Amino acid sequence: MNFSKTEFEDLYLIEPKVLGDDRGWFMRTYSEDIFMKNIPNFNSKWVQMNHSFSKLKGTFRGMHFQNSPYMETKLVRCISGAVIDYVIDIRDQSKTYLKTYYVELNSENKKMLLIPKGFAHGFFTLEDNTELVYLHDQFYNPSYEGGLCYTDPEIKLSFPFDPVIVSDRDLNHPFIEKNKKTN
pLDDT band at 154; cut points 50, 70, 90: confident
Residue 31: CATH number of its domain = 2.60.120.10
Domain enclosing residue 104, as ranges: 2-182
With beta carbons less than 8 A apart as the criterion, state whether 57 and 164 touch.
yes
Q: How confident is the model at residue 38 (pLDDT cuts 50, 70, 90)?
A: very high
pTM value is 0.93
Chain-centroid distance, C-alpha 139: 16
Are 161 and 125 a contacting pair, CB within 8 Å? no
Contact 51, 131 (CB under 8 A): yes
Catalytic site positions: 64, 134
Contacts of 8 (CB under 8 A, 6+ apart): 87, 89, 94, 96, 99, 101, 116, 119
Count of domains forming the chain: 1
Model pLDDT, residue 183: 47
- Decide if pLDDT at 176 tops 90: no
Model pLDDT for residues 156-169, shown as the tens digit of each residue: 899 999 999 999 99
pLDDT per residue as tens digits for the range 96-105:
999 999 999 9
Write out pLDDT tens, residues 126-151: 999 999 999 999 999 999 999 999 99
Residue 26's pLDDT is 96
